[in-house]
Structure 1
Amino acid sequence: MFKYFQSVHRTILLTLLTVVSILGILVIIKPAAIFPDASWGFQVLRSMQMGSSFNTLVKPSSWDISKNSVEFLSWWSPGQYLVPYFFKALLGINTGHAASVTTAVCQILGLVGFYKFFKKAGFTPLISALSLVVIVLQQAFFLPYIFHIGGETLFFAFAGWFLYGCLTFNKANWHLALFILLSGWIGFICKSSFIWVYAACLFYIWIRLCYPSLSIKNWLIKGLWIGIPAIISVGVIWWQYLSKGANPSSASSGLDFSWQTFTFPIASPLLAGFSADDLVNGFIFHNDIPVLSPGLVMPVLILLAILSILLIYFICKTVKDDNYKLILLIIYGVSILFFGSAFMRKLDISYEARHFRIVGLLVIPGTLYLFSQFKMVYRAGLGLAILVIAFFSIKFYVIGQKGLYKFTAYGTSGIGQQFIDQQSLDYVKLLDDRHKDAIFVFFSPDLGLEIQHNRIITLDALNKDININFDDYLHKGHAGPLYIIMPSYYIGIRANVILKSFPGYKGFSLKELSDEYVLYFATEAR
């Protein structure tokens, strides 16, 4: 029987490796589109390649576009552009293919890391392998093959190995201190929100090294072995990075005491671990047409929160490994406190399950083990739920691939462009090649990555109500030809608002680039 299960888990792992390798090859052949967060990171890389200092974004000054302003972009971690740049420089490929190689490598690294962690946490090779199957069948796993998401992918690659390391060290010594010091830096480079996971895991290590001793001296000494390298690690991150610019924790816009502030984090095991948030296109933050009516959102969220608490309770009651139970409880608890307080203070953090993915990944093997103790009918129910998740995830991937091949434009960067068609992008490239002193204006940060020889301005897209702060759009002065690329449906009041945002220019002309996009351009100073 042992040899049979050993053969099964090896077959599962080999199959997963084959499937994920094929997905990686496909994304290299046809690079993904890109999320705005990662686009800003690549804009920073673009500025650095054009001569700016580390992690600075250079753009025309809004006070006088003939001059530049420089911003240290600390909102996101630097790894989202540094790792692709490593592959870009190493392999001599464009940005889109470098991002694709990053995705392909990180997805495999992540799966191997979590498999090692699951086994270290006391689960059998079969449960660990099946857990990887559940991970792969989720939309969150397919997403990087359609949209490059930067730090999320890097964090997945690193998280399993970091958790494995947290379970490995049994003594407070210089090996542990070095692990804490370096993992803080590596994790932050992958994704800035790693800091809360870092804090939770250090608390776990402290408890595991000290318990059941009640000696204050013992707790203090071992706490110093953990605390000192952690303080150095976080201190350097703050000193050299976070303190130099704005980040999501920089400012609060008030207080929110609504049900969703804590209900959403509490429900994270099901929202992130079993794709509940993706299946309804987002409970609060919608990435597509919402499935649930507004009146159903909170009742369903409350139900999922209750079920999540019950799931965690029964996992901890059933699973035998104390290390797994402790790290699960601490990370789950810290996530509720961290995100609950962030949502309550209305920080600039969206209500998306992707922020809680580490909680979801941790819950999966415990859930599989829990249901393995139940009767066949319950196991079949869980299997059916996973098949439903798999169906919608594969559907998402197929539709996404169709979009990349049929509706996505590709230019010099190699990144799939969602907000322009090929005909319009080709004309923009022609203009960029003709000029060296022009300014291009876009309404999506990814489009600026196609400009190789000129400066760019990225403005927020306008909604129908045009409910904006005009000062955020106003750019004074004059500096060479100005090209503003916008969707054709902007023609009218929205286009007029944009043109008035550049008072230094007069005599704007309109050119239809395609049925979907237009170009406003001017050269004369007012």
Structure 2
Amino acid sequence: MLKQKLQTHQIILLVISGIVLIMGIMLFIAPAALYPDPSYGFQVMRSMELGHGFNINFKPDQGDINKNISDFLAWWSPGQYLVPYFFKSVLGINTGQAAAIVTTLFSLSGIAGFFFFFKKAGFTPIISALSVLFIVIQQGFFTPYIFYNGGELLLFGYMGWFLYGCLTFKQPDWKLVLFLFVAGILGFICKSSFLWMFVAACTLIWIRLSYGTAGIINWIKNAIWIGIPSILSLFVIFHFYLSKGGNPSSAGEGIKLLWETFAFPLASPILTAFSIDDLSSGLLFHDDAPMFNYFWSVIIVVACAVLSILLVRLIIKRVPNKSYVLLLVIFYAVAVLFFGQSFLRQVSISYEARHFRMIGLIIAPGIIYLVSSLKAGFRYPFYFVCFVIAYSSYKFFVPSYFQNKNVSAHGYSGLAQLFIDQPSLNYIRNLDRQNNNATFVFTSPDLCLEIEHNRTITVDAISDEVSINYDDYVYKGHAGPLYIVLPSNYIGPKSTIMRKCFPGYKGFKMTMLSNDYILWEAK
């Protein structure tokens, strides 16, 4: 008997999944580079591999380099390195290959999770599948195939299923209690910023269960059912993790109100759903030369904020799925409040749209539904925008992948190293094999992962103003050979500053590792 033909939405999902699997195989062959955040997490993984405690970074003491200190890394959530650590331990592969497996599995999990979440929210299978396709063409989806970004990837693979669960419960019971307690902890393990999403989700469940019931008593009862497991989950997270070290929200630099303070969170639907921040190389935060100056970037952000509010308002009026509309409004409002006050207090959260990617994911089916309700001729501008987004993602992925594969240096970790060349890395690895009591100093945290037998120190790169706070850089004392690896453009005042940061060492000798990198060594 012939099987029934595949439906359109199934074909879309199969094609997307097939492409992801091919990309995953390519990534396993040539692993990605690292964002700085996971680099520090992988340093913790390295310490754990050497026998140190959970989430402990074992490193030289600034007061006496001959000693070590144990630093509990609470700044970032542990999932970014724990999940690759699992595959690395079980399969006996290197760090880059483990990260490649995690990238592929969580990409597939996110595709499936958001498809089923969109269906649960009331959208048809074809709208749900097209929404997933709209998500996949964004540069944010391709990023972990070039730069492993840890928590953002894990959160993408987790959140669709979590939101699906949030829409499942119709009455409070022990299953809801267990779900909230476990899901809160798992979400935080994926990424610490999940906490604001957890607050939004609890608010959503509370309103859905209570709306339409008679009297305030039921609202209070439902609040207790939801509040107790949520508070217990947050207590576990705080007591066993966040309280043991600093985190991005633990301190600010005072109040500072700018146009972008609240406009940037308000603009998140447009900035993320249409990749505006990616296409412009970062409006307010960027590593490379910006496309627009600060004035015009702020103007664009404010305009996107106005358009985002109008878009959300239009979805509220036109989309009939009330649970979805409620979810969108709550998550959007909580995101604006959370990030707005964070920017206002100047905590260590950058003005990057990637922090708001969840809003772009949630709003996707609303956008597709609105477009699908238009007459055919009016859809063409949206198709053109999608083509531009997809083409920019292609232009980002293909050259960057082959840059990682064929140009970037590769060593013990298997990761693509962007801040050193292959001859320099080979020299450093040879020094590592020849010593067991040396200390290597780098200005990039991912390079520490190439050292197998000795200790490492990561210091911040010195800016062009050649001004540093010595308290953050100085390591006193003496402990075996010291090797400082620097870009060749540090020759001059920057190199002098770096050597002065190790007052226990004298008689430095410089070696040109290549045209681009130098080594200062002192025995």
Query: What band does the TM-score fall into relative to the shorter chain?
Result: over 0.9
Whole-Å separation in 2 of the counterparts to 1:275 and 1:142: 12
- Paired residue secondary structure (1:518): strand
CA contact (8 A) 1:436 1:454 kept: yes
- Paired residue secondary structure (1:69): strand
Cα displacement (A) at 1:5: 11
CA contact (8 A) 2:81 2:150 kept: yes
Indicate the residue corresponding to 1:283 in structure 2: 283
Indicate the residue corresponding to 1:388 in structure 2: 388
- Paired residue secondary structure (2:483): strand
Cα displacement (A) at 1:222: 1.3
Indicate the residue corresponding to 1:328 in structure 2: 328
CA contact (8 A) 1:410 1:416 kept: yes
| CA shift digits 1:479-507 (9 cap, x unpaired) | 00000000011011100000011110110
Whether 1:301 aligns to 2:289 is no
Whole-Å separation in 2 of the counterparts to 1:141 and 1:18: 15
Indicate the residue corresponding to 2:14 in structure 1: 14
Superposed counterparts of 1:249-398, under 5 Å:
249-398=249-398
Indicate the residue corresponding to 1:517 in structure 2: 517
Cα displacement (A) at 1:375: 2.1
- Paired residue secondary structure (1:74): coil
Whole-Å separation in 1 of the counterparts to 2:495 and 2:99: 34
Indicate the residue corresponding to 1:420 in structure 2: 420
Cα displacement (A) at 1:26: 0.8
- Paired residue secondary structure (2:269): helix
Indicate the residue corresponding to 1:165 in structure 2: 165
| CA shift digits 1:113-161 (9 cap, x unpaired) | 0000000011111111111111110000000000000111000000000
Indicate the residue corresponding to 1:145 in structure 2: 145
Indicate the residue corresponding to 2:105 in structure 1: 105
| CA shift digits 1:34-87 (9 cap, x unpaired) | 000000000011111112211111111111000011111100000001000011
Indicate the residue corresponding to 2:120 in structure 1: 120
| CA shift digits 1:8-27 (9 cap, x unpaired) | 21211111111111111111
- Paired residue secondary structure (1:168): coil
CA contact (8 A) 1:6 1:125 kept: no
Whole-Å separation in 2 of the counterparts to 1:229 and 1:85: 29
Indicate the residue corresponding to 1:68 in structure 2: 68
Cα displacement (A) at 1:266: 0.3
Distance 1:38 1:398, change over 3 A: same
- Residue 9 of structure 1 aligns with an amino acid whose one-letter code is H
Whole-Å separation in 2 of the counterparts to 1:313 and 1:82: 40
Indicate the residue corresponding to 1:80 in structure 2: 80
CA contact (8 A) 1:6 1:126 kept: no
Total equivalences in the alignment = 521
Cα displacement (A) at 1:293: 2.5
Indicate the residue corresponding to 1:213 in structure 2: 213
CA contact (8 A) 2:405 2:416 kept: no
- Residue 387 of structure 1 aligns with an amino acid whose one-letter code is F
Whole-Å separation in 2 of the counterparts to 1:209 and 1:287: 45
Indicate the residue corresponding to 2:237 in structure 1: 237
TM-score w.r.t. length of structure 2: 0.98
- Paired residue secondary structure (2:213): coil
Aligned-residue sequence identity (percent) comes to 52
Runs of 4+ off more than 3 Å = none
Cα displacement (A) at 1:6: 6.8
- Residue 268 of structure 2 aligns with an amino acid whose one-letter code is S
CA contact (8 A) 1:437 1:481 kept: yes
Whether 1:42 aligns to 2:42 is yes
Whole-Å separation in 2 of the counterparts to 1:5 and 1:489: 62
Indicate the residue corresponding to 1:95 in structure 2: 95
- Residue 151 of structure 2 aligns with an amino acid whose one-letter code is G
Whether 1:129 aligns to 2:136 is no
Whole-Å separation in 2 of the counterparts to 1:65 and 1:405: 36
CA contact (8 A) 1:59 1:456 kept: yes
- Paired residue secondary structure (1:505): coil
- Residue 258 of structure 2 aligns with an amino acid whose one-letter code is S
Once the two structures are overlaid, the 10-residue window that deviates more, 147-156 or 7-16, is 7-16
- Paired residue secondary structure (2:142): helix
CA contact (8 A) 1:5 1:126 kept: no
CA contact (8 A) 2:251 2:347 kept: yes
Distance 1:316 1:447, change over 3 A: same
Whole-Å separation in 2 of the counterparts to 1:520 and 1:103: 37
- Residue 296 of structure 1 aligns with an amino acid whose one-letter code is W
CA contact (8 A) 1:210 1:218 kept: yes
Whole-Å separation in 1 of the counterparts to 2:6 and 2:378: 24
Whole-Å separation in 2 of the counterparts to 1:484 and 1:501: 11
- Residue 295 of structure 2 aligns with an amino acid whose one-letter code is G
Gaps of 5+ in 2: none
Whether 1:466 aligns to 2:450 is no
| CA shift digits 1:367-398 (9 cap, x unpaired) | 01011112223211111101111111110001
| Aligned-residue RMSD, C-alpha | 1.3
- Paired residue secondary structure (2:167): helix
Indicate the residue corresponding to 1:25 in structure 2: 25
- Residue 11 of structure 1 aligns with an amino acid whose one-letter code is I
- Paired residue secondary structure (1:44): helix
- Paired residue secondary structure (1:441): strand
Indicate the residue corresponding to 1:406 in structure 2: 406
TM-score w.r.t. length of structure 1: 0.98
Cα displacement (A) at 1:428: 0.7
Cα displacement (A) at 1:214: 4.0
Whole-Å separation in 2 of the counterparts to 1:54 and 1:15: 40
Indicate the residue corresponding to 2:188 in structure 1: 188
Whole-Å separation in 1 of the counterparts to 2:88 and 2:478: 35
Whole-Å separation in 2 of the counterparts to 1:33 and 1:25: 16
- Residue 495 of structure 2 aligns with an amino acid whose one-letter code is A
CA contact (8 A) 1:65 1:479 kept: yes
Once the two structures are overlaid, the 10-residue window that deviates more, 461-470 or 503-512, is 461-470
Cα displacement (A) at 1:89: 1.1
Whole-Å separation in 2 of the counterparts to 1:81 and 1:10: 33
Cα displacement (A) at 1:256: 1.3
CA contact (8 A) 1:274 1:389 kept: yes
